[in-house]
Amino acid sequence: MSTPADTTYSTTNNMETQNNDPSEIETMFGLWVEQVLKDDANKVVDSLKRLWDILLQETVMDETEAKDSLTLLGVHRTLLAVMSKWKHDANIQHFACRCLAVLLVENEVAMTDLALSGGMESICAALERFPESENVQAAGIWAMQNLLCGGNATTQPHHHAIDEATKRFVVEVDGLALVVKAMEEFPANAFILGCSSWLFHNLYDAHDEYYMYCQGFVQQGVAEAVQTALQNHAHDDGVKEAATVCLEKIFATNKKQV
């Protein structure tokens, strides 16, 4: 199941992206890298916003040419480099995660490469470093959902590196607790609640053996957080759908273990 549609984010800068000629995209990418790696935080943010515009506009149009070309050029690795360089800047972490979230949707190449190169850990670091930032939490959880689940992990084959990153997320970096904390910190944010619920659901649903790594879902407060989200947002269709299927999966899986 895909990440819920993002209704909280909108484009921030207008950019001509109708022409997706590979040579023009490569030229644009070179100029973009030059700007995004500067030491001026404002210029970095502006560059991230321009990339966000390109990716979002293409997603809305249900196209992938620019995304595919940018992926082959390594835009996802550049985003990780930016996150590493500006790890203490919440605004940059926010926009970098937003770009990753859209880039990763059903993007096997970027998913695999990020899983192998520390993408999961970089996103978790942002979530952990900025627990008070609603923007970072929303974008980070969205990016994590698409990295580990690809928007549709239950039907699409994927590289074992993504499985390994998922296991590290659950077992080593205490990722479940990070997401639960965000749900508790921002109980009014329907996007965070819905995206978190989809993430939990898809972690269960991705592979039959995942239940071994998710046995603590009830004990770690996942079920309670999702139930609370459902109760508090009973009239929000997005949260209602995500939370309902998530709870069904959690309790069905735990019932099998009894």
Pair 141, 196: CB distance under 8 Å: yes
Residue 49 has pLDDT above 60, yes or no: yes
In the chain, pLDDT over 90 holds for what percent of residues?
A: 57
Give me the pLDDT at residue 243, please: 94
Q: Which of 3, 57, 33 is nearest to 201 (CA)?
A: 3
Judged by phi (left if over 0) then psi (alpha if -120 to 50, else beta), residue 189 lies in beta
* Average confidence score pLDDT of the chain: 84
pLDDT, one tens digit per residue, over 202-258 is 887 665 455 555 666 766 789 999 999 999 999 999 999 999 999 988 887 655 554
Distance in angstroms (rounded) separating the CA atoms of residues 108 and 122 = 19
Q: Which of 1-10, 72-81, 121-130, 149-158 is predicted least confidently?
A: 1-10
Give me the pLDDT at residue 212, please: 57
Give me the pLDDT at residue 220, please: 75
| Structure tokens, 129 | 């470093």
Q: For residue 11, what pLDDT band results from cuts at 50, 70 and 90?
A: very low
For the chain, which domains are there? Answer: 22-257 (1.25.10.10)
Give me the pLDDT at residue 175, please: 92
Higher per-residue pLDDT: 165 or 23:
165
Mean pLDDT score, 100-117:
94
Give me the pLDDT at residue 206, please: 60
Residue 1 has pLDDT above 70, yes or no: no
In the chain, pLDDT over 70 holds for what percent of residues?
A: 80
**Global pTM value:** 0.86
- Listed in sequence order, the residues at least 6 apart from 31 whose beta carbon sits closer than 8 Å to its beta carbon are none
Residue 4 has pLDDT above 50, yes or no: no
Residue 12 has pLDDT above 70, yes or no: no
Which DSSP string corresponds to 19-57? Answer: ---HHHHHHHHHHHHHHHTSS-HHHHHHHHHHHHHHHHH
Q: For residue 21, what pLDDT band results from cuts at 50, 70 and 90?
A: low
Nearest-5° Cα angle at 216, 215 to 219: 135
Length of the chain: 258
Residue 155 has pLDDT above 90, yes or no: no
Q: Is 39 exposed, middle or buried (0-12, 13-18, 19+ CB in 10 A)?
A: exposed
Give me the pLDDT at residue 93, please: 98
